[in-house]
Structures are given as structure tokens and as C-alpha cells.
Amino acid sequence: MSDIAATASAAPPVDVSASLPARLAKGFVGRLVIIVPYLWLLFFFLVPFVIVFKISLSQSAISMPPYTPVLDFSSGWSGFVGKLKQLSFDNYLWLTQDALYFKAYLSSVVIAGISTILTLLVGYPIAYGMARAPATIRPTLLMLVILPFWTSFLIRVYAWIGILKPEGLLNQLLLSLHVISEPLVILNTYTAIFIGIVYSYLPFMVLPLYSSLEKMDYSLIEAAKDLGCPPTSAFWKITFPLSLPGVIAGCLLVFIPAVGEFVIPDLLGGSQTLMIGRTLWNEFFSNRDWPVSSAVAVILLLLLIVPIMIFQQAQARAQEQGK
């Protein structure tokens, strides 16, 4: 082994001029594949967060842009230190003083949590039924679950307005069936938000559940039954624990975006319901208070950082197992 290495290093490269550029080119192209998307994401994903954080520490002003800049490096190190003193946590103080924000965060998390559980309850039987379907029709069922995802989110939420409003289709149906005598008030309540979230995010729940249930070896269930386990008990002891990765992925895919959801509370929840995505939107577009909305965003991000990291871990693990 050492002999071979010695001869290899002792022998002069046959053709330096031809191999070196080729090697360089290979290295360069290889790097490029990493560098281009890396820089793009750094600049358009990470840097913006830094800016959000920075602006959340500045004072609002009536100008364009409506805030006084902090951390301006144009005046050198002394200027930087001087500016540091201008840093203001006022926006954060403001968030703690006004109970509105706290309530909005809390109700967002609660609404997202309840919706996630509801979506799981609705989605699990669907995914389970799909996974048990004959293998020939499974791809079709899968496509049918994905298809609504391709149609606009906004449209799907909009469609529910016509159904849920007091003179809407649901009330018409229930009234004509004499199930109710007075129209139900569903639109502009939290119920409407739950319906909207469950409906819109259902495919996100069904897909990971389906993929974990579908690849499960059915002989495990048979083995459990063979060993004396009745079907319901076999479900809780075997099927459900083995589908947990899908459950976790599905719940995170629903919960995280739902906390910051804007369209659903805005269109279905009316003015009475409180969710942080809408608060941020109003702060930004109506009050034009960029520093406060930045602070709202920073807190929201901190709130979600743990679930997001769990989600990433799960993704990375799935990727490793795929290999």
C-alpha cells in the first residue's frame, strides 16, 4: 500500500496542463451548485430576518420608510457604538403593555392547536382508508387529495363564505330539512376559522399520514391478531405508534403555518376573532407601524422556532432513512 502511494507521489503527473484546469472546472462547478442557492437563501431568507430584528428595535417615524434606521455602518465603529445606545426595546415593551397582543398570540396558538387536532381527527380515517384501498386505485386517490392543493388557497377559503353565511347554502339546506328553525351563525365566528383551517390544511395532514401508513407492512397487523390482539387494540398498539412520524409531520405542517394564518381569519373570522397574523397585517398596512409589526413578527418567530426545528429534524431524519 505504502509502495503504491510512494510511486504515485514520486511519478510526475503525466499532463499537468490538461488535468489541472479540468479538475479546477469540476471543483468550480461542484462549488457553484452549493454556492448559488446558498447565497440566494442567505440574502433573501436569512438577511431579511436580521433586518426585521433590527427594525423591531428602531423607533417609528412618519416618513418613507417609516422608521429611523439603527445599526448604520456608514459612520464607522464609533458611529456604530453611538447608534447602539439608540437601540430601543420600546416596541417590545409596547407589546407587553397592550393586552391585545398577548391575547392575539395566545388565541392564535390555541386556535392552531385545536384546528390541528381536528385536522388529525378528520385526516386520519381518510389516510387510513386510502392506505387500505386496493393498490390499483391508490395513485388516483392520492392525486385526488393533492388536486385541491393545486387550486388556489384563496379560492378554497372564499368558497366557504357562500356556504357558511347566514343565508348561505348550509343554512338553506338545514332549514329546508327542518333540522333548525333559525339560521346558524357560523361565518365570522371561531367555528368558521376551525372549518377553514381544517379544510385548507387537510391535504398537508393526509399526505404524510398516508405515506407512513401505506409503507407499513400489513403482516404486522396480522401478527398482532395472530397473537391474540383484537383489531381495535391492534390499531392502538401497532398501527398508531408506527404512524407517529406521519402524525408528527402532519401536525407540524398544519400547526406552524396555522399560527400565523392571515387569509382564513380575515375572510371567515370577521372582525371579532383575534389572530396574530391579522394583527401583524393590520399593524403593517393600516397603522403603518413597521417597527411594531417587526417586533410582532420576531415574537411570532420565537414562538414557532421550536416546532420549526422539530420539523426540520424530522425532515432530515426522513431524508437519512430514504437513503
Residues 108-167 that bind other proteins (CB under 8 A): 122-123, 125-126, 128-135, 141, 143-145, 147-148, 150-156, 158-163, 165, 167
- CA 253 to chain centroid, in Å, comes to 5
Cell of 314: 424530522
Strand partners, 67: 60
Closest-CA residue to 52 (of 302, 297, 277): 297
Is 77 or 150 the residue whose CB approaches other proteins more closely?
150
Residue 46 near other proteins by CB under 8 A = yes
Contact segment (CB under 8 A) with other proteins among 12-20, 80-88, 178-186, 261-269 equals 261-269
Largest Cα separation within the chain, whole Å, is 96
Nearer to other proteins by C-beta: 79 or 125? 125
The piece of 81-89, 90-98, 175-183, 216-224 that touches other proteins (CB under 8 A) is 216-224
Residue span binding other proteins (CB under 8 A) among the ranges 9-17, 75-83, 97-105, 215-223: 215-223
- Which among 4-12, 37-45, 84-92, 96-104 is the span making contact with other proteins, rule CB under 8 A? 37-45
Q: Which residue, 3 or 217, has its beta carbon nearer to other proteins? A: 217
67 φ, ψ (degrees, to nearest 5):
-160, 155
The interface region with other proteins, picked from 84-92, 94-102, 113-121, 236-244 by CB under 8 A, is 236-244
| Sign, Cα dihedral of 214, 111, 57, 69 | positive
Based on CB atoms, which residue is closest to other proteins, 26 or 103?
Answer: 26
Closest distance to other proteins from the beta carbon of 220 (Å): 5
Residue 110, classed as helix, strand or coil, is helix
193 vs 202, which CB is nearer to other proteins?
202
Does residue 60 sit in helix, strand or coil?
strand
> Which residue in 156, 153, 318 sits closest to 250, CA to CA?
318
* Residues 277-316 interacting with other proteins (rule: CB under 8 A): 277, 280-281, 284-285, 290, 293-294, 297, 300-301, 304, 307-308, 311-312, 315-316
Residue 82: closest CA among 70, 91, 66, 67: 70
Per CB under 8 A, the list member of 8, 34, 62, 177 interacting with other proteins is 34
Closest Cα to residue 194, out of 106, 118, 270? 118
Considering beta carbons, is residue 67 or 190 the nearer one to other proteins?
67
Report in angstroms how near the CB of residue 98 gets to other proteins at its nearest. 19
Of 6, 84, 121, 220, the one binding other proteins by CB under 8 A: 220
Question: What are the DSSP calls for 145-184, one per residue?
Answer: HHHHHHS-HHHHHHHHHHHHSTTSHHHHHHHHTTS-SS--
For residue 60, what are the β-bridge partners? 67
Query: Is 20 among the residues that bind other proteins (CB under 8 A)?
Result: no
Among positions 183-212, residues that touch other proteins (CB under 8 A) are 199, 202-203, 206
DSSP type of residue 14:
S
Q: What angle do CA 309, 314, 319 make, to 5 degrees?
A: 125
Q: Is the dihedral of CA 236, 239, 242, 248 positive or negative?
A: negative
Stretch that binds other proteins, among 3-11, 12-20, 84-92, 258-266 (CB under 8 A): 258-266
CB of 137 to other proteins, least distance (A): 9
